[in-house]
C-alpha cells in the first residue's frame, strides 16, 4: 500500500479540522457547560461569512453569569443566552449554530431573534416538531421562518446528543420519555460512562480529544439511533 495514500489523521481529528470556527466555538461552549455542572449544550451566532457575533452555553445550574445572560433557571439555555445579548433591531441575517436541536423555548427565541439560518448538530427527539410555527396561526404561516440545517447524522451529531444527556440532564422522567422515543441505547451509554467515572476523565480533556476518545462508541450508537 502506498503510504502517501493513507490518511494521516484519525477520523475524529479530520472531522474536527473540517468544521468551521462557529461549529468549534459552539462545541467548546458545550464543553464548558459540561465542566461547570450544567447541561452540555453550546451555541454561537455568526455572520454568513463565519465571523462570530456571540457565543454562550447552558447555565441552568450557575449562580452567576455574564451581564445580559440568564443563569440558575430552567430558561438558561445556550441559544437563548446567545440571542439575549444580540441588540434589538439587529438585521435578521445571522447564522445560529447550536450543538443540539433547539427546544420549544429556543426555537421561539430563534424565530424572534435576528436569525436567518439555524444549524444544529445533535437530534433531540424530545422537541421534534416544536419549530413549526407556521402551523400556529395564519399570520405565522405567511411569514418566512428561519432556514434549518440539521440534525447531523454523523458521529458529531451523536456526540452532541450524548453529551447533552450527561450530568443534571437525565432525570428519571426525562430518561423514560427518551427511551420511549428510541434513545435507550444512548441512555445506556450515558450510565456506563457516568458509573465508570469516564465522564470525569472526559471533562479533563479538550472537547475534540473527547470526541476522539468516544469515537468507537459514537460509531456504534450512530448505527443504533432511530432514523428521523
How many Å apart are CA 9 and CA 15, to the nearest integer? Answer: 9
Per-residue burial over 110-120, b if 16 or more Cβ lie within 10 Å, else e, is bbebbbeebbb
Q: How far is the CB of 102 from Zn ion (least distance, A)?
A: 6
Cis ω for the linkage preceding 164 (within 30 of 0): no
Q: Which is nearer to Zn ion, 33 or 193 (CB)?
A: 33
Q: Does 217 bind Zn ion (CB under 5 A)?
A: no
Residue selected from 34, 84, 106, 221 as contacting Zn ion according to rule CB under 5 A: 106
Q: How far is the CB of 9 from Zn ion (least distance, A)?
A: 33
How many Å apart are CA 144 and CA 134, to the nearest integer? Answer: 9
Q: Which of these segments, 28-36, 65-73, 106-114, 202-210, binds Zn ion (CB under 5 A)? A: 106-114
Q: Which is nearer to Zn ion, 37 or 196 (CB)?
A: 37
Q: Does 119 bind Zn ion (CB under 5 A)?
A: no
Q: Does 169 bind Zn ion (CB under 5 A)?
A: no
Q: Which of these segments, 12-20, 29-37, 95-103, 200-208, binds Zn ion (CB under 5 A)? A: 95-103
Q: Does 82 bind Zn ion (CB under 5 A)?
A: no
Beta strands in the chain (DSSP E): 42-46, 52-57, 94-100, 115-122, 147-149
How many Å apart are CA 109 and CA 82, to the nearest integer? Answer: 10
Kindly report the length of the chain: 228
Q: How far is the CB of 106 from Zn ion (least distance, A)?
A: 3
Q: DSSP letters along 41-55, please?
A: -EEEEE-TT--EEEE
Burial class (CB in 10 A: 0-12, 13-18, 19+), 222: middle
Q: Which of these segments, 65-73, 99-107, 112-120, 217-225, binds Zn ion (CB under 5 A)? A: 99-107
Q: Which of these segments, 82-90, 101-109, 156-164, 171-179, binds Zn ion (CB under 5 A)? A: 101-109
Q: Which is nearer to Zn ion, 41 or 53 (CB)?
A: 41
> Coil, strand, or helix at residue 114?
coil
Q: Which is nearer to Zn ion, 53 or 103 (CB)?
A: 103
Where helices occur in 39-103 by DSSP H, the ranges are 78-84
Q: How far is the CB of 212 from Zn ion (least distance, A)?
A: 28
Q: How many residues bind Zn ion (CB under 5 A)?
A: 3
Q: Does 77 bind Zn ion (CB under 5 A)?
A: yes
Residues that bind Zn ion (CB under 5 A): 77, 103, 106
Amino acid at each position: 500500500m502506498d503510504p502517501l495514500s493513507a490518511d494521516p489523521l484519525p477520523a475524529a481529528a479530520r472531522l474536527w479540522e473540517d468544521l468551521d470556527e462557529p461549529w468549534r466555538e459552539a462545541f467548546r461552549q458545550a464543553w464548558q457547560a459540561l465542566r461547570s455542572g450544567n447541561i452540555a449544550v453550546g451555541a454561537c451566532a455568526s455572520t454568513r461569512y463565519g465571523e462570530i457575533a456571540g457565543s454562550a452555553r447552558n447555565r441552568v445550574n450557575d449562580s452567576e453569569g455574564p451581564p445580559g445572560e440568564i443563569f440558575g433557571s430552567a430558561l438558561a439555555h445556550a441559544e437563548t443566552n446567545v440571542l439575549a445579548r444580540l441588540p434589538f433591531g439587529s438585521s435578521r441575517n445571522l447564522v445560529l449554530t447550536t450543538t443540539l436541536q433547539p427546544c420549544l423555548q429556543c426555537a421561539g427565541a430563534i424565530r424572534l431573534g435576528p436569525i436567518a439560518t439555524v444549524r444544529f448538530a445533535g437530534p433531540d427527539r424530545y422537541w421534534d416538531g416544536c419549530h413549526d410555527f407556521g402551523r400556529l396561526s395564519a399570520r405565522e404561516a405567511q411569514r418566512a421562518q428561519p432556514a434549518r440545517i440539521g440534525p447531523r447524522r454523523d458521529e458529531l451529531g451523536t456526540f452532541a446528543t450524548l453529551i447533552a444527556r450527561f450530568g443534571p440532564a437525565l432525570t428519571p422522567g426525562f430518561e423514560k420519555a427518551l427511551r420511549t422515543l428510541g434513545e435507550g441505547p444512548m441512555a445506556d451509554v450515558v450510565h456506563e460512562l457516568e458509573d465508570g467515572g469516564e465522564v470525569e476523565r472526559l471533562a479533563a480533556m479538550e472537547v475534540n480529544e473527547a470526541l476522539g476518545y468516544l469515537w468507537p462508541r459514537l460509531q456504534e450508537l450512530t448505527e443504533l439511533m432511530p432514523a428521523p
